[in-house]
Structures are given as C-alpha cells and as structure tokens.
A and B are shown apart, each in its own frame.
Chain A
C-alpha cells in the first residue's frame, strides 16, 4: 500500500516488464507519471477526461485510461505501454500493419489504438469487424478515419493466426 505522505509518495510497480520505483505528488495522474517520471512519452494526453483513449495502457492486462488513474494507484500493478509491445527490435504485428496500411497520420492516437487493439487480440484472436469497432470505441482518431485502422487490426489478426498455426 502506498504510504500516505503530504508531498511525495513512492510508487513501485512493473512497467513493460521492468520493476520501477518513482516518487510523485499524490494528485499526479498516472499519465503524467509515466511521461515525466519514466520518460514513456508514447502515452499521449488527448483529452485528460477518459473520452479519447490516446492514453490507453494495460494495467494487469486490462485496458485503462492512464489519465483517469492517480499515479499512487499503480502501486504493485503491472503496466504495459506502447513502448513495451515490440519484441526487442521486432515490431509487434499490429505496429507493422499500422505502418504498412498507413493507419495513422499525425500519430497522436496511434499508441492508444495499438495498446487497445493488442488487448483485443490477446483475448480474441479472430475478432469480427463489429467486435473490433466496439473494442476500439473508446479510442478516437481525428485524422485518419477509422477504416484503415480497422483493416490494420484485421490484417494483424490474420498474421498472428498464421504464425500460431
């Protein structure tokens, strides 16, 4: 349990497989702690109020908005950000299909989409288009339009299924 403390709280958790330890003010959002204390700037702030999904991370395997968590809540949890989805130098199939399918323009929404799509494919390796659209309903993109994003997720699912056969 995080110590309550007037100024700074120490938080220990696992981020992208590494045990980390940081100090933060209690009101710091997890989003700001990941960016400012741990340098994980893949976590984006689009809205800060849970509407856009640009800050999507996995907490203990489940999609969450990092902007809707206080950093001390992360104590003891295991977090995955977009920085942790590639295998070393090898991009995750989703990252590859987003690149090849031009499923991004400005890219601000992309880390959130990648993490949310990974969570979907981890649970459901062969989702229908409708399932993909519902699973990504919490992620907004203001430039690309959703079609290329959906196609990229479908293509990644095909590749992942091919690899596992």
Chain B
C-alpha cells in the first residue's frame, strides 16, 4: 500500500485517477479498524487532511462551510458553530473518545455509511449539502442523498466530499440529537434521533425529524414532521411524534437491542429531541437571523 498526501483537490483527483484501487481517508478511525478486521487494503491511500479546504471552517454571508476532513473536536470547540447548531455539535461530539474526536470527520462518518453514524441524522435535519469533487468538476448534493445503504454511497469512483454547507438556521430555530447506547461513552447507537424545528410564536412553523440506527440508512419521519407543524407541542402532538417515529423504523435485531426495543426507544427519543429543540428555539434571541 502506498500513502499520498496531496495539498490540492486537483492533485487528489489526479492521484485517484492514477490508480483504480485508491481510496481517500481523513481520520482513518473507520478505515484502519476495517483493514485490521480483514478488509483488503487499497493499493493507494489518499490522505485528505493536507488540503486546506478539507480542514477549513468558515462562516460567511449566512452560510457555514465545514471542510469534510475537519476533526469533530474542532467543531465542538467552536462556540459560534455550537450555538448555531447545538444538536449537530452534540451529535458530532458523541463520536468516540477524545482520541477519536481529534481525528473523526463528517466526511468519514457519512461516507463510511454505517446506519448508526451519529452525525448523519443531525446533518440531514439541518439540510446540510455536500460539495463533491470529481473528474468533471465540483457538484453539490444533499447530505441526505449521499448514503444509499450500509457501506454504500452515491459517490462515483474517484469522487470525494470537499466540504459541507449549512445555511444559518432561520430565527426561532434550533436542533437536538439524542442517542441511546448501553454505556455512557464509547458505544454505537441503538437508536439516534435528530430534530430541527422553527417556531413562530408558540407554534411550530416547521420541523424535520430523522432517525439513525433503525434502518439501513437514516430515515426521515414525515408523519412526525406533519404532527409537529402548526402544533404547540401538546401531549397529543408528542404522542403522534412518538407513534410516527416508532412506525418509521425498519430495524434489525442484534445484541444491542431487539426490533421491538428499538421501535419503542425511537419513539421516546424523537419526542424528547423535539422538546429539547423547541426549548432551545424558545430561548433564542428573536431577531437572531444574522
């Protein structure tokens, strides 16, 4: 296996073109354990971390641009980012230990395409877009359209994600992410639930709900979103959110949880995440749209 550390996206694309058995990586926190578990090594590994755009974080003209190889610890430590997207920041901070945090990236978390990837539901409810480099130039796709199944993505051979774009949330909005794991740290989600919502006075103007680890890919829950929209988060609404979330699950039975348990937990977490997001949205300065 050869290692290369290009410093521009063009150089990276050229390396990927030069060897059909090449693969990009950022933190290698998924890659190395997979190789150790017996997955064949690629013949060329392309390290994305020396390309400036891949590790840059900026906020201009109402849009956040986050390099796809940025370590998640840099996001949780970024107070401005974390106050704009508290749920996404928390989801990112849940990935592994401090050691892992200094390496784990959104690009890797998403493209590894594990159904339990913690940042994925939170990226999706925040309408994150991925800027993708490929042989024919750059294109932009919704983060929701990257993962197509366990271990599978919609990226073509030789493509990689350069950065993610997130628009400033509208005034009166916030988000939350909750996950259940059997331990308090260092485990993989049994269920993850992300909610992003915008309030108009006492009522929810619009909401997005997504679940992780309960189906082959992240699932949106339109039933819960419809129940939340226009509501004041009363008990009936919350019961409807839970029921819709449980129904949206298509989980597996494994050592971390049975199908029935995962469905039940998904309902509880979706409801609680909606309440937390609403509470955060209420405590926001009303004219916050910068």
Contacts and interface: CB of A to CB of B under 8 A. Distances in A.
B98 A29 contact: no
A69 interface: yes
A134 B98 CA distance: 8
A27 B3 CA distance: 7
Interface in B154-209: 184-186
Greatest chain A CB density within 10 A among B3, B4, B36, B186 is at: B3
A121 B185 CA distance: 20
B40 interface: no
A163 interface: no
A150 interface: no
Contacts of A4: 2-4
Nearest to A56: B99
B99 A5 contact: no
A150 B6 CA distance: 42
Interface string B1-27: 111111100000000000000000001
Contact of A135 (B1, B41, B50, B98): B98
Interface in B46-71: 47, 49-50
Given A49-B33, A53-B97, A70 B2 contact: no
A125 B32 CA distance: 33
A70 B96 contact: no
B2 A26 contact: yes
Interface in B93-107: 96-100, 102-103
Contacts of A49: 32-33, 36-37
B3 A70 contact: yes
B50 A138 contact: no
A34 to B, nearest CB: 15
A61 B244 CA distance: 46
B33 to A, nearest CB: 4
Contacts of A73: 3, 5, 47, 49
Given A134-B185, A138-B186, A2 B3 contact: yes
B97 A67 contact: no
B103 A68 contact: yes
13 contacts: A2-B5, A4-B3, A26-B2, A49-B37, A63-B102, A64-B99, A68-B27, A68-B33, A69-B103, A70-B47, A116-B99, A137-B184, A137-B185
Given A50-B29, A73-B49, 15 more contacts: A1-B5, A2-B3, A26-B3, A29-B32, A49-B37, A63-B98, A63-B99, A67-B32, A68-B33, A73-B5, A116-B98, A135-B98, A137-B185, A138-B96, A138-B100
